Each structure stands twice: as structure tokens, then as C-alpha cells.
Structure 1
Amino acid sequence: MLLLPPIIFQSGFSLAPKPFFSNFGAIITFAIVGTFIASIVTGVLVYLAGLIHLVYRMPLIESMMFGALVSATDPVTVLSIFQELGTDVNLYALVFGESVLNDAMAISLYRTMSSLRTNPSSQNIFIVILRFLEDFFGSMSIGVGAGFISALLFKYSTLGVENLYNLESCLFVLFPYFSYMLAEGFGLSGIVSILFTGIVMKRYTSPNLSEDSQRFTASLFHLLSSLAETFVFIYMGFDIAMERQSWSHIGFIFFSIIFILVARAANVFSCAFLVNLARPPHRKISRQYQQALWYSGLRGAMAFALALQSVHDLPEGHGQAILSATISIIVLTVLLIGGSTSTMLESLHVAGDGNNGQHHSLEDQENSEGNNVGNIELNNVEGTSNASKFRLKLREFQRSTPSFTTLDRHYLTPFFTSQNGDSDDDDHDPNGAPQRSNELQGVESHRLPTREMD
């Protein structure tokens, strides 16, 4: 109620729109399909290992709950190193977009499994799927709806013209919590709702604010998110030192780390295969990018929060074992993976100035003369290999279907904001004045390479 809403809202509000929406299909695939795969694989492996007495034994539903909560990634450390070393904005967008959206997916999966445990009579696969879809997409609809309503309100209220900056900022702050409380009141996920509220409000509501209100609200939510996240990690440190932990199940902790690495690999490589089926050769996710995505699966505040919830939801022994294992996973992934990220990026050759130019040229091929190179490569690949009809139909469908960018430019942006929709410049507000400085755009986007804005 207090700590997670500002963290999740800031995650959605600080998205860099261009690389995020240009990779939206891939991000959705990794966040929804991939998180579901990782959750199921982890839960099944924990359950099977318990059957052969390799780890602490738990029922299947509780194993699935553990798989769901530990599938939420939070690669803050990795992303900061990505920015410092100058990795490609598309790789950054994939990692960050997945980490933002899979929090919502993990929460929905955890709640579905928890309700399934308390109501055993509904243990039907179709009921489980229907309940999950209801929870996730219902919460998402509330969040998107609240964001669009706020955009229309600030578009026509003219509070900035009348110099009512304080009222404008207060109303802006109220809408995320309105979305959160409304979803909770309907028995849905407030976290999922507030995440999509942040995405929509950043894109459509924020441009309708005055410059002063834009700066104030961006600074406020960035501050609240930083304070909340810092408090979560401080709380985790105190919990390790002062609370009673279930360290008697070292085998459960050790094998859980192995299981989440295996599940992460199943997530990344299977989803990358699906995404590459629909992408032209010059936009495929390379093997180096897939390995970087696999390596960036740190766990953080969301996994810890859900593990704390599991102590109340599960019997004492099971919940305590899950909490101790989750804390260990968070500490080890942050220290080991976070500490070796720069070495990993250099060994995969996905960092550095020379690498940036290469990958940005690939990104720009769609709207430049370099697109001819991509067409030649596509023709060569299709000529030398027998591509399946399914793959060809996917590409034809992708070319014939209007992109989200086109829909946004011609319909959504003119309707919900004061912009005319013809300009694709994200650096200026509708009046032509520069938007807030990079410092206020969020810690995730202010150090990206300048080629992103070309």
C-alpha cells in the first residue's frame, strides 16, 4: 500500500518511449509469455526436486507460488552499467521493458496461485487461465482507462493557463492512487493497474501539464520511488540480520538458484526464437543479446515483497523457507551478477562506442537508405533456406498490420494531447519549449546514447 505503488508507477512513468514502443512486441513476449514459462519451469523443478528429497518438499501449488514470485526481475544494477558502458538502446529497452512489465505478470500469477490454494475446488486449468486473464487484463484496463481520463482532464481543464500549478500537480498525483485503489476495490491487482497508469500518463497526460508541473511531478515521483526502493533494501538488510531465517534448508536455496537460471534460459531463448520468427533478419535478436538478456535476470524489491507476503499466505515452515531462499537469491544475484555485468558485456561485445554505431545503424535501416541492405540480406536468407510458410505469414501479417506507432501518431496523440500528431519530436512540448531536463526523465533514460533521439 505504501512502498510498492510509487516504485511501480515510476517504472512505467520513466519509460523512454521510442525504443520501448519500437520493441513493444518483443517486450510483451518476454514479459508475459517468458515470465509465465519461467514461473512454471521453476515451480515444476522445485516440486520434482522435493519429490526425490533433493530440496525442501512443498506441495505443487506452493511450489508454483514460489516460481511466480521469484520470476520477477529487477535489474537496476545491470541497467545502470548498461548506461555507463553505452550499450545499444534496443537491448536496454528489452531489458528494462521486460523488468517493468514482468512485475505485473508475476503479481498476477502469484495471486492466481494463492487463490487456487485457498479454493481447492477450482483446480481446473481453464478456471486458472480465466482467473489469471481476468486479474491481469482487468487491472490493465483500469490503469489504461485512468490514464486516458487524466489526459482528457488536463487537456481541457487549462489549469496551467490559469497558473493553478499546485492544483494541477495535486490532481496529477491523485490519479495513480485512484487507479490503484479502484483496482484493489474490485479485487484485482492495484500494482498492475498503477503500472499501466504510469505508462499512459507519461505518454499522454504529462504533455498536457504546464512546464512547472511537469518538472515538479517528475521530481516528486522520482524522489518517492527512490526513497521507497531504498527503504525496501534497508528493510531487507535488517530482516537478514535480525529476524529468524530458515537457514536449515541450504539445499533448497542452492538448487533454487540453479532452477531460476535454467528457467531464465528457457524464458529468454524460447521467447527470442518466437520474436525472431516475426522479425526481418536485420532486426533479429542476436545470440549475444539473448545471452545478455539471460544474464540480466537479477531479483529485487518485487520478489522480496511477494516473499514477505508468502509468510502470511503459507504455513510457517513453507513461507519462512521461501523468504530465506528469496533473500539469498536477491543478495547473490545482485552481488555476483551485478558485479560482473561489465565483464560480461565486454566479453559478449555488446558494449562500447564501436558497438553502438553498428547497432544503431541497424535500427535506422527501416527509415533510411540502409534499408536496401536489409532487403538484400532478407532476399539472400530466403533464397538459401527453405523458410516455413508460418514464418512468411508472420512477416506478411506484420507488414500489413498498422503499427502501434502509426496508431499513436495519427489517432491517440491528437485526441488525448494538445499535440497535432504530425511531429515525432519527443524533446519538445506542444508549445515548442524544451521538456524537462534529462535528470527529471528518470534514472533509466537520462544516460542513454544520444543516437536514440536521431
Structure 2
Amino acid sequence: MDIFTIITLLVVISSIFGYINVRFLKFPTTIGLMVMAIVLTLLILLSGIFSPKITSIAESTINQIDFGDLILDIMLSFLLFAGALHTDWEQLKEQGFPILIFSTIGVLASTFIVGSIFFYVVNHIVGFEVAYIHCLLFGALISPTDPIAVLGILKQIGVPKQLEIKFVGESLFNDGVGVVIFLTLFNIANQGVDNISASEIALLFTEEVVGGLGLGLALGYLTFFLTKTIDHYETEVMITLAVVMGGYLLASTLHFSGPLTVVAAGLFVGNSARETAMSQTTQLYLDRFWELIDVFLNAVLFVLIGFELLIISYEKQYLIAGVLAIFIVLVSRYLVLKLPIAFFSKRLEFVPHTDLIMTWGGLRGGISIALALSLTDDMNREFFLTVTYVVVVFSIIVQGLTIEKLIKKMGVSVGKLDKSH
């Protein structure tokens, strides 16, 4: 089956699921699409009992899609830019310090807490032997909250702005930081601890983070300059598209963080260029274009996540480890949020029980699965892919469907949005 046919099938299925969800289920879009994809996948697996050819064809089709490259090299740049474009810089700046801690030190601390606890649990309780460095890799890929999943849910809940900006800011930045930590640990795992120095690790981290942010701001300013000199909405929208695609490619070539590049560019364009360099007509078309890109790619992505159920392993030890990982990830997230929230709550306004709400609302998504797929076989790829999938599915379906109820239970008012949009 050629790639165009596969893409066509995904778009058709996503559209049908989207209609069913809006017309009947009325779940948040990302959750509804993924639930239906999982149900369809389970039906395919059950039908394989009577006709193995059906399951074989479905598995072959999914295996033709490079899920990791599709998310990390194609979808992620568009989705992060769309999210950053509509993020209020003034509110982000006001909550800057806690967001900075959550998305840097928080991700790093969570990586080691998750990795260390998981290493002990898997080796001593589950009875599956796995190396510590590989558990740290799991900690790195599962610690960052997924901006795609988080933004998709928050749009339809209507949480208070001071809480929303913490979720949004953390998820936009910790994703890029998490990828950098993962790549650093990946290099250590490949080369061995003795063959890589602390200075090399620090240089890699600095190059990725600082280089990515710097390139993103430069591209944002370039967009500002170009759009200020013309008034032609078609061309101006195309310029933003070129910045996302070209910027991500350039960042990868320079070994900078592509996610941080597009986030920085999106923030600059959405807050500086948009208001001062673009006409109201351009702003309208820019918003509509990127909203449509966001909705379309989210739909395809979460349908794909559901279909990934076809390729994971169902070993009993893997599934047990996945269930235990859910609790480890949640406890670790609560621990790394508790101290900074307690510290900053004396200076900044926090809604009641922010630590609990952000723990339960810290959803994991396609980025975690994509990073798990990038592991090699000698890093226990199948094991970590299954564990990651279990955590992601629980996160999106269970946490995603109950986060609104938790927020209300904590005494925080929500401004209900129309869930059909």
C-alpha cells in the first residue's frame, strides 16, 4: 500500500470518527478520536481470531508508517507553532519562573525519579531485567507533558487563566527540554558512560536549548520584518508556514532543538509580529489557518495513537510494568511540582490545589510513543514501547476525561466551552 493511500485512509477515518464524536459521543476531540481508534483496533484484533489475514493487513499497513519520524520530524513543528502562536506572552512572562522550573529542573528531576523507581520495581518486583540507563531513558521520554494532548483538552474546559498559562507554558517548553535530555541519555547509552564527559553533555544540552531558542527568536524577528513590509495575507500566512518548516529543518541541521525553535518563533510571531506587523485581515486568516492545521493534525495523530495498539507486545510482564509505571509517573510528577509550587505560591497567585490539578492534568501523548519507538532493540524497545503506550492511553483517556471533574472538586470554577468545537 503506497503512502498516499495510507494518508487518505487516515484522513477519511479521522473525518468519520470526528463526525461520530461531535454528533454522538461529544468527548473532547482528541479523546473521542483515540477511543474510537482503539475500539476499531480491538475489533480488528478480535476478527483476526476468525480471519488472521485481516489483522495481518492492518499490522502491515501500520508498520509502513514511521510513527516516530512522522511526529518528531513533521507533525510536532506545526502543532507546537500553532499552540505557541495563541499563547499570551504577558501572562507567560508573569508566570515565567515557575514555568521555567517546571519545564527544566522539573523534567530533569522527574527523569531520575521515574527512572530510579522504575528500575527497582521492574528488576525486583516484576522480575524483568533491565539496565538503569535504559530506565532513565524511559524517565526522559515519559516525564514531559505532551503539549498536543494538554492543549487539546484545555481548550474545551475553560480553566482560569493563571492555571491555564502554567499548563500551556510548561507543556510547550518541557517537551523540547525532554527531547534534549532523552537524546543526551541516548548518546550515553550508546557510547557508554566512560566514553562521554560531563563537558560534552553540558555542551550538547546548551547547544540544543540555547541554540534552539536563539534561532527561534531570530526567525520570529525575520517574520516580523517581512510581514511588516507587505500587506498580502496569502503571502504572510505562507511566510509563517515557511518559518515553521524551514526553521525546524535548519534547527535539525545545526543540531539545535527543533521544538524549542518553533515555540520561540511562534511566541514572537503571535505576540510581537501579529499585533504590530499584520493587518486585521491577515490576523484573521493566520488564526484560521493555524487553527485548522492544529485540528487536522491532532485528529490524525490521535487516531494513529489508537492504531498503534496493533504493534505493541502483550507480554504479561510488560503490561504489569505498564500499570505500575502509571503510579510511578503520577507520584514522581506530584513530587517535582510540590516544592516549586509551595515556593512560588508566596509571590504569585495559584488556584487551590494546583499541585494535584497539574499532576492529574499532565497528559502524555504521541511524543512519548515516538521517542519510545526510537529506542534500539538492545535498549528493550518492545518492553518500553508497551509500558509507554499503557501510560499514554491511561493518561489521555482516564486523566483527560476526569481532569475537569477534579478541577471542579478542588473548588476551581471553569468556563464551559462548547465541546463540539
TM-score between both structures, scaled by the size of structure 2: 0.75
- Higher mean Cα deviation, 256-265 or 283-292? 283-292
Structure 1 residue aligned with 2:381, among 301, 306, 319?
319
Q: State the partner residue of 1:222.
A: 291
SS of residue matched to 1:3: helix
8 Å CA contact 1:140–1:192 kept in 2: the answer is yes
SS of residue matched to 2:363: coil
1:338-390, Cα deviation, whole Å (9 max, x unpaired):
2222321222111258xx9xxxxxxxxxxxxxxxxxxxxxxxxxxxxxxxxxx
Deviation of 1:154 after TM superposition, in Å, equals 2.4
Cα 1:174–1:86 change in 2 (3 A) is closer
Higher helix fraction: Structure 1 or Structure 2?
2
Counterpart of 2:281 in structure 1: which amino acid?
D
Counterpart of 1:26 in structure 2: which amino acid?
P
Counterpart of 2:182 in structure 1: which amino acid?
Y
Deviation of 1:68 after TM superposition, in Å, equals 0.8
SS of residue matched to 1:73: coil
Separation in structure 2 between the aligned mates of residue 309 and residue 141 of structure 1, nearest angstrom: 27
8 Å CA contact 2:118–2:325 kept in 1: the answer is yes
Counterpart of 2:77 in structure 1: which amino acid?
P
1:211 partnered with 2:280: yes
Cα 1:58–1:132 change in 2 (3 A) is farther
Gaps of at least 5 residues in structure 1 are 357-437, 448-454
Separation in structure 2 between the aligned mates of residue 138 and residue 346 of structure 1, nearest angstrom: 41
1:153 partnered with 2:220: no
SS of residue matched to 1:15: coil
Counterpart of 1:291 in structure 2: which amino acid?
L
Alignment of 1:361-372 (within 5 A): none
8 Å CA contact 1:72–1:99 kept in 2: the answer is yes
Cα 1:76–1:341 change in 2 (3 A) is farther
SS of residue matched to 1:340: helix
Separation in structure 1 between the aligned mates of residue 319 and residue 127 of structure 2, nearest angstrom: 8
Counterpart of 1:184 in structure 2: which amino acid?
S
Gaps of at least 5 residues in structure 2 are 1-72
8 Å CA contact 1:10–1:221 kept in 2: the answer is yes
1:89 partnered with 2:161: yes
Structure 2 residue aligned with 1:31, among 103, 116, 119?
103
SS of residue matched to 1:187: coil
Deviation of 1:38 after TM superposition, in Å, equals 1.2
1:192 partnered with 2:260: yes
> Could you tell me the percent identity over the aligned residues?
19
8 Å CA contact 1:246–1:320 kept in 2: the answer is no
Q: State the partner residue of 2:337.
A: 268
Q: State the partner residue of 1:182.
A: 250
SS of residue matched to 1:115: helix
Cα 1:247–1:205 change in 2 (3 A) is farther
Counterpart of 1:139 in structure 2: which amino acid?
G
Over the aligned positions, Cα root-mean-square deviation in angstroms equals 2.7
8 Å CA contact 2:80–2:148 kept in 1: the answer is no
Cα 1:231–1:339 change in 2 (3 A) is same
Cα 1:7–1:135 change in 2 (3 A) is same
- Higher mean Cα deviation, 128-137 or 103-112? 128-137
1:39-76, Cα deviation, whole Å (9 max, x unpaired):
11111112222442535332222111111111121376
Separation in structure 2 between the aligned mates of residue 27 and residue 246 of structure 1, nearest angstrom: 37
Separation in structure 1 between the aligned mates of residue 380 and residue 400 of structure 2, nearest angstrom: 29
Structure 2 residue aligned with 1:8, among 76, 80, 88?
80
Separation in structure 1 between the aligned mates of residue 391 and residue 365 of structure 2, nearest angstrom: 9
Separation in structure 1 between the aligned mates of residue 370 and residue 149 of structure 2, nearest angstrom: 18
Alignment of 1:238-317 (within 5 A): 238-240=307-309, 242-248=310-316, 249-276=318-345, 279-280=346-347, 283-285=348-350, 288-310=353-375, 314-315=376-377
Separation in structure 2 between the aligned mates of residue 80 and residue 231 of structure 1, nearest angstrom: 13
Deviation of 1:173 after TM superposition, in Å, equals 1.7
8 Å CA contact 1:47–1:58 kept in 2: the answer is yes
8 Å CA contact 2:213–2:264 kept in 1: the answer is yes
Q: State the partner residue of 1:378.
A: none
8 Å CA contact 1:147–1:201 kept in 2: the answer is yes
Alignment of 1:52-131 (within 5 A): 52-54=124-126, 56-74=128-146, 86-120=158-192, 121-131=194-204
Separation in structure 2 between the aligned mates of residue 80 and residue 230 of structure 1, nearest angstrom: 10
| Residue-pair matches, total | 345
Counterpart of 1:267 in structure 2: which amino acid?
V
1:132 partnered with 2:205: yes
Larger radius of gyration: 1
Separation in structure 1 between the aligned mates of residue 108 and residue 312 of structure 2, nearest angstrom: 31
Counterpart of 1:142 in structure 2: which amino acid?
L
8 Å CA contact 1:147–1:200 kept in 2: the answer is yes
Deviation of 1:126 after TM superposition, in Å, equals 4.4
Deviation of 1:145 after TM superposition, in Å, equals 1.5
Cα 1:138–1:295 change in 2 (3 A) is same
TM-score between both structures, scaled by the size of structure 1: 0.70
Separation in structure 1 between the aligned mates of residue 289 and residue 187 of structure 2, nearest angstrom: 35
